[in-house]
Amino acid sequence: QSALTQPPSASGSPGQSVTISCTGTSNDVGGYNYVSWYQHHPGKAPKLMIYEVTKRPSGVPDRFSGSKSGNTASLTVSGLQAEDEADYFCSSYAGSNYFFGTGTQVTVL
Amino acid sequence: QVQLQESGPGLVKTSETLSLTCTVSDYSISSGYYWSWIRQSPGKGLEWIATINYRGTTYYNPSLKSRVAISVDTAKNRFSVKLTSVTAGDTAIYYCARYLGNGFYFDFWGQGTLVTVSS
């Protein structure tokens, strides 16, 4: 079993954009269009932000967008706001298993 | 808005069985969907443990399958997980979540509960 690789941290000033990568293999990220992204403020319940690579649940601002190229998925947060400061992790279906990313702490400067 | 709340002992002794329950509010488990347990430990990050549907069909992480059992109680609208022969490596924050099998994602999560394994 292996986790998906994310950068430990990312940052940007209010109004700027930040992109977080999530790298897996052809057996997970690259093999299925079932990548999802979650926002997690410690001590609270994780929140679904993106599912099926690019789709946004109702209520999630369109500042959040997802994409995928090969074995790497990405989450972009445009127009950073203070409340976007949180941990973000990705996940991917992998056949008979399910993998999560190592997590990225986003800081709004 | 579906709400999930984990409950169970915060401390479990080495080699014993860890048991947790997730109570679901504002949604009837019998109405459908799947229900999952996920954990987050300092050493391994986030790890999917198991998933069950309202009919009792189960899916397990292959690396934990020999020690895990997930069950559902539709009458009490809750589901549970048991992990046997625990070690310090099972110390983690345990989350329950609703899982959408057609899109393979978790749309609602609990806040998590910390379980420490110690002798």
Contacts of A47 in chain B (CB under 8 A): 109
DSSP structural state of residue A95: S
Give per-residue pLDDT as tens, B70-87: 999 999 999 999 999 999
Q: What string of DSSP letters covers B66-79?
A: TTEEEEEETTTTEE
- % residues pLDDT > 70 (chain A): 99
Q: What percent of chain A has pLDDT over 90?
A: 93
H or E element in which residue B19 lies: strand B18-25
- Give mean pLDDT, residues A60-67: 97
Does residue A81 surpass a pLDDT of 70? yes
pLDDT value of position B60: 96
Say whether pLDDT at B43 is over 80.
Answer: no
Given CA atoms B62, A57, A50, A30 in this order, what sign does their dihedral have?
A: positive
What pLDDT is attached to residue B13?
Answer: 97
Residue A75, CA atoms < 13 Å, CB-side half-sphere: 31
At B37, the pLDDT band (50, 70, 90 cuts) reads very high
Sorted by sequence, the CB contacts under 8 Å of residue A105 that are 6+ apart come out as A8, A9, A10, A86, A87
pLDDT reading at A48 higher than 60: yes
CB-based contact, A51 to chain B, within 8 Å? yes
Do residues A81 and A14 make contact, with C-beta atoms less than 8 angstroms apart?
yes
pLDDT at residue A20 above 90?
A: yes
Average pLDDT of the residues of chain B: 94
| A27 contacts on B by Cβ (under 8 Å) | none
3-state secondary structure of A34: coil
Q: Backbone phi, then psi, for B31, in 5-degree steps?
A: -75, -15
Query: Is residue A91 less than 8 Å (CB to CB) from chain B?
Result: yes
| pLDDT band, residue A24 (cuts 50/70/90) | very high
Residue B42: the pLDDT is 81
Backbone φ/ψ region at A43: left (φ over 0), alpha (ψ -120 to 50), beta: left
What are the Cα distances from residue A67, in Å, to A53, A75, B23? 6, 7, 34
What is the rounded CA–CA span in Å between residue A85 and residue B51? 30
**What pLDDT does A2 receive?**
72
pLDDT at A58 over 80: yes
pLDDT at residue A1, as a whole number: 52
A7 close to B (CB below 8 A): no
Cβ atoms of residues A46 and B110 within 8 Å: no
pLDDT in tens, A87-101: 999 999 998 899 999
Instruction: Judge: A51–B105 Cβ closer than 8 Å, yes or no.
Output: yes
Judge: B47–A1 Cβ closer than 8 Å, yes or no.
Answer: yes
Tell me how close the Cα of B96 comes to any Cα of chain A, in angstroms.
Answer: 10
Mutation target among A55, A58, A100 for the B interface, most CBs of B within 10 A: A100
